[in-house]
Structure 1
Amino acid sequence: MSKRHFLTLLDLTPAELNQLIARAIELKQMRNEGVIYEPFKNRVMAMIFEKASTRTRVSFETGMAHFGGHAMFLSPRDTQLGRGEPVEDSARVISSMVDIVMIRTFSHALVQTFAEYSSVPVINALTDDFHPCQLLADMQTFHEYRGSIQGKTVAWVGDGNNMCNSYINASRQFDFKLNIACPEGFEPNADLVAQNADRITLLEAPEEAVDKADLVVTDVWASMGQESEQRERIREFRGYQVTPQLMDLANKDALFMHCLPAHRGEEVSADMMDDQRCVAFPEAENRLHAQKALIEFLLKDLI
């Protein structure tokens, strides 16, 4: 297999994505049974972080350790990317020394350019436009609790941000309907919505979006880099909090997900995070297993 990148969910086929979810569940079971599986000894992942993260760093670093490899943490202070070196040059140099690269940054164009000039697979671990790794974990979690998400209805409540954009891609790749409720002016990428108009419904009222949904999802109202807009966004998003009462409008067996960290009392009520329908913490753990499946998929035929 030639080198592949994972910058959005569209970089894999629906069949490959479903295969990856099934493999993530297998790898999780192997970990839980204490199976030692180290196919990537002496292999190195470069983890480039321009945006801080708890779950992303812990999951990727742990995943490479489980595989017998090493994950190298690189902050803006540790690379010439933070000092003005062209992305093209950094990509050539870094990829010549490691086996796979993970990037968590602001600009999606930066990740695209890095991948273009990289000699090894590149994983988008979050940009301002997309967060595909989180969607792998979300799809795995839904499958574990409720089976296939194909044909189901998902409700997104809140900001039309990178997570919402990735849910739009997921609706196409995993074949489900997506209701999106967000205030005017905070809609997701208009081109993505237009390209998937057959399965996307844009609404303003959260109650309409959640009605008869099988999965309800939200995220913080102010993402990293939008801290200065926090007060304004709290005003604009009043009424978009996910609560047990809102969840009661969804299907009886509906699940609630949040990619974390959660701002309890803002986009989600404190009691919703403790509700039995909330699977945010198993969802967070599945970042480890889904990303291990992704690393294996990208590396197995290149080693």
Structure 2
Amino acid sequence: MLFNLRNLLNAATLRKSSKQLVQHFRSGQPTQTNVNLKGRDLLTLQNYTAEEIKYLLWTASDLKQRIKDKGEYLPLLQGKSLAMIFEKRSTRTRLSTETGFALLGGHPCFLTTQDIHLGVNESLTDTAWVLSSLTNAVLARVYKQSDLDLLAKEASIPIVNGLSDSYHPIQILADYLTLQEHYGYLKGLTISWIGDGNNVLNSILMSAAKFGMHLRVATPKGFEPDPNIVKVAEEYSKEYSTELFFTTDPLEAASGTNVLVTDTWISMGQEKEKAERMKAFQGYQITMQMGKQAASDWTFLHCLPRKPEEVDDEVFYSPRSLVFQEAENRKWTIMAVMVSLLTDYSPQLQKPTF
């Protein structure tokens, strides 16, 4: 019994250390772009440098042009499998990941709480070890960020955050790709967040300044983002010389902005707070009237699904709305993430302007 226990502990140490070695050495190997993300986790964009995030967007743009526009077949993930753990329902995250991974020749495996109940019918550590031996990567859409952190610690394969209560990094990659396609650049743009201090906003706070983008945030009193995340964002703002502004006045936040962004006011698990939240967010609906405060070239983003109280139909279905292009780009950006974490692929097309 003691011998078996010692072997298990040694195996755990080997898994952890080998993963750390892969991340340490491969992330430093020179490539065409001097960026190599193979073997990395994607838990939050806080862990990625500006150049690494730009590399992901470059790869997404490259794959979109080669596959969609040029009709090339790129089986870059042939023979690889992906475990998709979903504690929360999803349309875009599930379909973009399943179709994208399959389009690249890989095999996605969808797992709900009916199939795998994290930390209940099997410990997170055991789950991480088993999935590491059966698949090449895990995308997990969960409630607790700590579950993702533990999976990443114990697994020897890349773990990707498909959404947690703290962050939604793969959504923000799609947002940035959409803005880069529309404006032709990102540096110097001003983003205005009008809504709840939630996981989507947290991911913008962890990344916008790295592109030289300014951020103006309006949240009702009591619905501000995590102060620890704000502190990190303030440090980024100083480092990259960008503006970071917080207010409770949506019109003030919208002033002079290029991009108006919002999200649901009531996230999954907050249904009991609906009456309180609907009252607190009065005046936060994005309308053309609010758009008059913005720059002349303003556009609108929403990660969907959208409720009319968050943004009216006039804005949502207008030419200023990029929401459906944004939704499609969830596919190309998650494909870029998987290709970057699982292969040595380098983009073939010219690097976009960021």
Give the shorter-chain TM-score range: over 0.9
Residue 81 of structure 1 corresponds to 118
Deviation at 1:295, TM superposition (A): 0.6
Residue 293 of structure 2 corresponds to 249
Residue 14 of structure 2 corresponds to none
CA-to-aligned-CA distance 1:14-62 (integer Å, 9 cap, x gap): 1111121122112111222321110111210000000110000000001
Counterpart CA distance in 1 for 2:226 and 2:342 is 31
Kept in 1, the 8 Å contact 2:174–2:330? The answer is yes
User: Given residue 60 of structure 2, which amino acid in structure 1 is its aligned partner?
Assistant: A
Q: Tell me, what secondary structure is at the counterpart of 1:291?
A: helix
Counterpart CA distance in 1 for 2:189 and 2:94 is 31
Q: Which deviates the most, 116-125 or 198-207? A: 198-207
Residue 101 of structure 2 corresponds to 64
Deviation at 1:244, TM superposition (A): 1.4
Residue 228 of structure 1 corresponds to 272
- Aligned positions of 1:77-226 closer than 5 A: 77-81=114-118, 83-197=120-234, 198=237, 199-226=243-270
Counterpart CA distance in 2 for 1:288 and 1:196 is 27
CA-to-aligned-CA distance 1:220-267 (integer Å, 9 cap, x gap): 100011111112111110000011111121111111100000012x11
State the TM-score, normalized to the length of structure 1: 0.96
Choose which of 18, 23, 26 in structure 1 pairs with 2:59: 23
Q: Which deviates the most, 227-236 or 25-34? A: 25-34
Residue 258 of structure 1 corresponds to 302
Kept in 1, the 8 Å contact 2:206–2:232? The answer is no
User: Given residue 325 of structure 2, which amino acid in structure 1 is its aligned partner?
Assistant: P
Q: Tell me, what secondary structure is at the counterpart of 2:163?
A: coil
Kept in 2, the 8 Å contact 1:80–1:90? The answer is no
Q: Tell me, what secondary structure is at the counterpart of 2:207?
A: helix
Counterpart CA distance in 1 for 2:66 and 2:104 is 12
User: Given residue 106 of structure 1, which amino acid in structure 2 is its aligned partner?
Assistant: Y
Kept in 2, the 8 Å contact 1:46–1:72? The answer is yes
Choose which of 340, 347, 353 in structure 2 pairs with 1:297: 340
User: Given residue 4 of structure 1, which amino acid in structure 2 is its aligned partner?
Assistant: R
Q: Structure 2: state its 5+ residue gaps.
A: 1-25, 27-37, 238-242, 346-354
Counterpart CA distance in 1 for 2:131 and 2:210 is 31
Q: Tell me, what secondary structure is at the counterpart of 2:114?
A: helix
Q: Which deviates the most, 173-182 or 277-286? A: 173-182
Q: Which deviates the most, 80-89 or 235-244? A: 80-89
Q: Tell me, what secondary structure is at the counterpart of 2:42?
A: coil
Moved over 6 A (4+): none
Q: Which deviates the most, 100-109 or 187-196? A: 187-196
User: Given residue 152 of structure 2, which amino acid in structure 1 is its aligned partner?
Assistant: A
Counterpart CA distance in 2 for 1:288 and 1:92 is 28
Identity fraction in percent = 40
Counterpart CA distance in 1 for 2:303 and 2:332 is 15
Residue 349 of structure 2 corresponds to none
Kept in 2, the 8 Å contact 1:76–1:82? The answer is no
User: Given residue 80 of structure 2, which amino acid in structure 1 is its aligned partner?
Assistant: R
Counterpart CA distance in 2 for 1:121 and 1:83 is 22
User: Given residue 159 of structure 2, which amino acid in structure 1 is its aligned partner?
Assistant: V
Deviation at 1:82, TM superposition (A): 6.2
Q: Tell me, what secondary structure is at the counterpart of 1:78?
A: coil
Counterpart CA distance in 2 for 1:262 and 1:13 is 31
User: Given residue 105 of structure 1, which amino acid in structure 2 is its aligned partner?
Assistant: V
Counterpart CA distance in 1 for 2:264 and 2:282 is 13
CA-to-aligned-CA distance 1:56-96 (integer Å, 9 cap, x gap): 00000011111101100001111252634221111111121
Q: Say if 2:326 is the partner of 1:283.
A: yes
Q: Tell me, what secondary structure is at the counterpart of 1:180?
A: strand
Choose which of 270, 279, 282 in structure 1 pairs with 2:313: 270
Kept in 2, the 8 Å contact 1:206–1:240? The answer is yes
